[in-house]
């Protein structure tokens, strides 16, 4: 495959990732092409390496996360990009962040086990919020009386924090305060929310331009 053809595939992949506003897997990118012109998986992987290199020195980057690849604003520029938006990102409670941190590091874990560690009751609203945000999911039920649900994180959780797998999470030091871990999660969360707002704003502007 010649260089011109590779650059063409790269441009198509870049356009698709910009338009999607969410991660796309290699197979999803390959499915954009007809059967006759569909690049092999190995070729598509090489194209993503080329695209990542092409983003060097730019205000955005190609990032591989659990669900695939996405183009996003570099974290170092989040303070400036965030000023485009008047509405401040939602700030989550200490209880929610601690609960999310425990699920992330101790999964699968039940609500009762979380309460035993934290020493306080976990609000149903917290569990509902985490489920609605699709950061956690029910992966089974503990084989004890009452068969309580066991919770674990999702691919969406990994995507939010630019991770491809749980093995990329920083090691949990038992002596660290859960709130400190939660605030680190929140810091990353705010950067991702600001990026989502930027993408949504750009999508709205593109739609408006199309209509006119």
CA dist., res. 61 & res. 73, Å (int): 6
The residues near 167 (Cβ < 8 Å, ≥ 6 apart) are: none
Contact 38, 30 (CB under 8 A): yes
What pLDDT, on a 0 to 100 scale, did the predictor assign at position 165?
Answer: 86
Q: Indicate the helix (H) or strand (E) that contains 192.
A: helix 178-211
Per-residue model confidence (pLDDT) at position 83: 79
Show Cβ contacts of residue 196 under 8 Å, excluding neighbours closer than 6 positions: none
pLDDT 10s digits, 157-176: 888 877 888 887 777 664 35
| The predicted structure's pLDDT at residue 184 | 61
For the domain covering 3-73, report its CATH number.
1.10.10.10
pLDDT in tens, 187-197: 555 555 444 44
Sole residue written with tokens 């170092």 = 76
**Lookup: tokens for 24:** 């796309």
Same fold, 3-73 and 94-197: yes
Domain 94-197 = CATH 2.40.100.10: no
159 burial type by CB count under 10 A (0-12 exposed, 13-18 middle, 19+ buried): buried
Domain limits of the chain?
3-73, 94-197
Q: 10-residue block means of pLDDT along the chain (212 residues)?
A: 87 93 92 91 94 93 91 87 69 82 90 88 90 92 91 90 81 56 58 48 45 40
Token pair, residue 66, equals 């659990």
């Amino acid at each position: 495959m010649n260089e011109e053809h590779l650059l063409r595939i790269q441009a198509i992949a870049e356009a698709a990732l910009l338009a999607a506003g969410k991660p796309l897997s290699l197979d999803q990118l390959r499915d954009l092409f007809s059967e006759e012109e569909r690049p092999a998986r190995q070729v598509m992987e090489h194209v993503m390496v080329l695209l990542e290199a092409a983003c060097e020195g730019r205000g955005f980057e190609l990032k591989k996360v659990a669900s695939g690849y996405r183009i996003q604003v570099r974290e170092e520029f989040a303070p400036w990009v965030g000023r485009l938006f008047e509405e401040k990102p939602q700030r989550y409670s200490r209880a929610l962040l601690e609960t999310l941190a425990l699920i992330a590091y101790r999964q699968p874990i039940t609500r009762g086990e979380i309460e035993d560690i934290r020493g306080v009751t976990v609000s149903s609203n917290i569990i509902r919020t985490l489920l609605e945000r699709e950061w956690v999911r029910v992966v089974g039920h503990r084989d004890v009386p009452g068969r309580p649900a066991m919770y674990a994180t999702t691919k969406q959780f990994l995507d939010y924090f630019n991770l491809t797998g749980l093995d990329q999470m920083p090691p949990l030091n038992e002596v660290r305060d859960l709130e400190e871990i939660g605030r680190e999660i929140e810091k990353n969360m705010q950067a991702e929310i600001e990026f989502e707002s930027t993408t949504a704003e750009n999508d709205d502007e593109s739609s408006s331009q199309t209509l006119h």
